[in-house]
Structure 1
């Protein structure tokens, strides 16, 4: 019995030491990342932030008590703050630039093809990856047992490809909510919906839907809302087709950087949209899918790029 207790004690101490060492490695990398953020290097900062997210995920799995869980939360807050700083650097570089009116949205993972609230497994993975709305007390998605509609839903993702709709989102800080605005999106352009499967890298972000923007609803009392034309928009089955967003989009002033921080959207040029549509059209043709809508969009963007 005595030997058993000693053995258990040794194991506990080893686990604690492993946690401390892992935590210290993350803290060292955070200090290094801060230096690159201060230099306004999106590429170098994003490389380190991506690594920090993976390390934090592993550390969270190691946390065995409240003290360790609080340490993980503190590190997450530090990483989130760095993420916001890099996103602000990106936003300032984008401000004032002429935009074509297209937009790409960063969607949380939804394993119901963006037509219903996600499963419990998908919900839990979104919590682990720190998705702000999924973990907020106002989110009621686990209570939805009925069909969602445009007017009655727990989140954008639950209706995105059912209603062909998405929004700019909210900045949530405790009980304070600030509605986000999108200033350079236009009707008769496209909104590209993108996502990552759980625990995959940012480079694996894929396109799951294309909304032909029919209406942009924008006022100061709520977030910007994007309504797609259901007859001209496309849902892409991510179980059959994998179209990677970063094969087309490049971050301004940091083209080698695969980084998407806290921001929910990115502006996209007409030329980038045209390249996406050309490849999607080819894939649809190759697997025998209807290309009627894609062909009409291609004609539209060929004309836009020619003007």
Structure 2
């Protein structure tokens, strides 16, 4: 019988075209145009996504926070935009099929293990997916609209420069090669997690930084505010 996963998780993070660089805020109007229409992402293109609403109902005009309250967790558009401000991420909601609207289960997370945030620039192949951040997992909550949400513990790492961030597929191997296919997350064995962390720590300590990347920030949502 196969052993259960070690409890580490790698998330697929949608590229966010922030105002001051990648992942610095919800998408700009140009970012919304790309993720909603030109290269539609699963959540971004849903009619109940706040970014899609701005695009279709408000002519895609203005900054996201003109329409929403930044201090209200429920008014953020996605996990991806708040990954480095709230330090949490989740498995999402089923968008089709018999389980539509239900939270996608995260059965094998473990307290003290690590969640890795991975992404790639839209014009790059899957082989160039990079580990842009990671956090130790403190606890999980279930939100009625966001599903199962993993919250960061004391360890929070963020690549100083996206272009120098570790390549995900260099450290995670599978028989079919660099192919993510469906699903928002994958379980990572301890052996791979350890080398990913070492590589990310080196990238996080780099003196050079670019807009949208830098040192870890504090903050988070504990499910009660």
Q: TM-score, normalised by structure 2?
A: 0.74
| Aligned residue number for residue 250 of structure 1 | 173
The structure whose RCO (Cα within 8 Å, separation 6+) is larger is 2
Distance 1:227 1:100 in 2: 18
Task: Select the structure that is richer in strand.
Answer: 2
- Written as runs of structure 1 = structure 2, the 5 A alignment for 1:32-181 is 97-112=3-18, 113-127=22-36, 128-141=38-51, 142=54, 143-145=64-66, 146-147=69-70, 149-173=72-96, 176-181=100-105
Structure 1 pair 138/270, CA: closer, same or farther in 2 (3 Å)?
Answer: same
Equivalent residue in structure 2 for 1:267, among 176, 182, 187: 187
Distance 2:164 2:123 in 1: 19
| Aligned residue number for residue 147 of structure 2 | 223
| Deviation (angstroms), 1:284 | 4.3
| Deviation (angstroms), 1:280 | 2.6
Kept in 2: contact 1:196–1:205 (CA 8 A): yes
- Structure 1 spans left out of the alignment, 5+ residues: 1-94, 294-307
| Aligned residue number for residue 60 of structure 2 | none
Kept in 2: contact 1:115–1:157 (CA 8 A): no
Distance 2:145 2:84 in 1: 25
Structure 1 pair 223/242, CA: closer, same or farther in 2 (3 Å)?
Answer: same
Q: TM-score, normalised by structure 1?
A: 0.56
Kept in 2: contact 1:150–1:159 (CA 8 A): no
Could you say what the CA RMSD is over the residues aligned between the two structures, in angstroms?
Answer: 3.0
Equivalent residue in structure 2 for 1:200, among 124, 128, 146: 124
Structure 1 pair 126/97, CA: closer, same or farther in 2 (3 Å)?
Answer: farther
Distance 1:159 1:96 in 2: 35
| Partner SS, residue 9 of structure 2 | strand
Distance 1:148 1:199 in 2: 32
Q: How many residues align?
A: 193
Task: Select the structure that is richer in helix.
Answer: 1
| Aligned residue number for residue 42 of structure 1 | none
Kept in 2: contact 1:103–1:190 (CA 8 A): yes
| Deviation (angstroms), 1:240 | 5.4
Distance 1:130 1:197 in 2: 14
Structure 1 pair 117/177, CA: closer, same or farther in 2 (3 Å)?
Answer: same
